[in-house]
Copies of this chain bind each other. A is one copy, B any other.
């Protein structure tokens, strides 16, 4: 589907909550920072008419509708951006792809690998028509992490040995924190594992470019029931999860995800150890990458705090002068840029739906391993 160059690329956004707001910000600012084709924020979609109208106004969308099928069907919509809960991803994404639209789907791709497989099939068919099906693992667009991947790909770390990846938050520490759809298996698929552990696992794949070969996992539900509107309800997903992943090249990655880590606000912490170097990163200080060059003379060797805001850095030069740091939201703008370039320039967008399916299978393997008392699950 080559872009009709005589008009802007039209975007439809499905969802206006947290992710919808972040994506809106990206669509609104991408053209100021980057050389990208013109876009038009055609329509935003949601269920609550009143809240939706307010969102459309604040987030600056031309129109709004509660009918996502109508939004997808519009002639002037080229890109469907899906920010709904995961349970709706498959239906909307497949419909949008079948309607000939490019799709950006927030993570998780789906709540089950069965859904994800159908989405991959739809994406493959669409790819043959020139459509892009992109998965929104936005942290791949943090400049420091992109720099990390560059260093690894260039061999600066040598042969990788060991990765430590954790994603720790604290919003469920209070046992009186109320029940929600995120704590039910039917609606959320899994808990900390799928919601935030998936980011950590995706980073392992992104940084190394390697496939996960096998998994051992453990899950825990530390607060087994929480207050609902009509009394206590059982929590049916994990509060915390641990896994070791063996990658196809033998590297072992440990994963830890938790919503019970008191005082950890948004701490995705990554450490990568190779024979020639090492890297560290913490999402709470996302402008910094810590790099160790193990080939440097011993007397001056150590982790270097690289402030990833130079023109030489990924996405560098587009924003502000060096040292004028970026925030969490900027990765969404980077994502919009990369998607637009993929649509118009043919640069492949990564991750795609197949990456999302592979990740979903890793998540399911962790759950299966825990159910099998920790046994190794091959992938």
A contact residues vs B (CB 8 Å cutoff): 18, 21-22, 24-25, 28-29, 31-32, 58-60, 147, 151, 157, 161-162, 164, 166, 169-170, 173-175, 216, 218, 220, 222, 240, 242, 244, 250, 252, 254, 256, 258, 260-267, 271, 273-278, 283-287, 291-294, 297-307, 309-313, 319-330, 369, 373-376
A169 partner residues in chain B, CB cutoff 8 A: 323
How many whole Å from A244's CB to the nearest CB in chain B?
A: 5
Beta-carbon nearest neighbor of A263 in chain B: B292
The complex places the Cα of A218 from the Cα of B97 at a distance, in Å, of 43
The complex places the Cα of A276 from the Cα of B250 at a distance, in Å, of 40
Copies, count? 4
The complex places the Cα of A222 from the Cα of B373 at a distance, in Å, of 25
Q: Which residue, of A216, A258, A298, has the highest number of chain B Cβ atoms within 10 A?
A: A216
On whether the beta carbons of B161 and A222 are closer than 8 Å, the reply is yes
A242 partner residues in chain B, CB cutoff 8 A: 244, 252, 254
A260 partner residues in chain B, CB cutoff 8 A: 161-162, 273
How many whole Å from A116's CB to the nearest CB in chain B?
A: 26
On whether the beta carbons of A262 and B275 are closer than 8 Å, the reply is yes
How many whole Å from A70's CB to the nearest CB in chain B?
A: 24
If A244-B218, A304-B302 touch, whether A29 touches B32 (CB-CB below 8 Å) is no
Beta-carbon nearest neighbor of A34 in chain B: B58
On whether the beta carbons of B273 and A263 are closer than 8 Å, the reply is yes
On whether the beta carbons of B162 and A258 are closer than 8 Å, the reply is yes
On whether the beta carbons of A263 and B29 are closer than 8 Å, the reply is no
The complex places the Cα of A375 from the Cα of B319 at a distance, in Å, of 43
Option from B60, B151, B291, B329 in Cβ contact (under 8 Å) with A31 = B60
The complex places the Cα of A216 from the Cα of B374 at a distance, in Å, of 7
A18 partner residues in chain B, CB cutoff 8 A: 320-321
A313 partner residues in chain B, CB cutoff 8 A: 299
On whether the beta carbons of A161 and B147 are closer than 8 Å, the reply is no
- With A242-B244, A303-B304, A326-B327 already in contact, 14 other A-B pairs whose C-beta atoms are closer than 8 Å: A31-B60, A32-B60, A161-B173, A169-B323, A218-B252, A261-B271, A262-B277, A265-B323, A284-B307, A293-B300, A300-B306, A324-B327, A373-B375, A375-B375
Sample of 20 A–B contacts (CB below 8 Å): A24-B32, A32-B58, A161-B240, A161-B260, A161-B261, A162-B240, A216-B218, A242-B254, A254-B254, A261-B278, A263-B273, A263-B303, A264-B278, A298-B311, A302-B304, A304-B305, A327-B329, A373-B374, A374-B375, A374-B376
The complex places the Cα of A29 from the Cα of B32 at a distance, in Å, of 12
A216 partner residues in chain B, CB cutoff 8 A: 216, 218, 374
If A306-B302, A310-B299 touch, whether A250 touches B222 (CB-CB below 8 Å) is yes
Q: Which residue, of A164, A304, A373, has the highest number of chain B Cβ atoms within 10 A?
A: A304
A252 partner residues in chain B, CB cutoff 8 A: 218, 220, 240, 242
The complex places the Cα of A322 from the Cα of B375 at a distance, in Å, of 36
How many whole Å from A35's CB to the nearest CB in chain B?
A: 9
How many whole Å from A20's CB to the nearest CB in chain B?
A: 11
A292 partner residues in chain B, CB cutoff 8 A: 262-263
A327 partner residues in chain B, CB cutoff 8 A: 324-327, 329-330
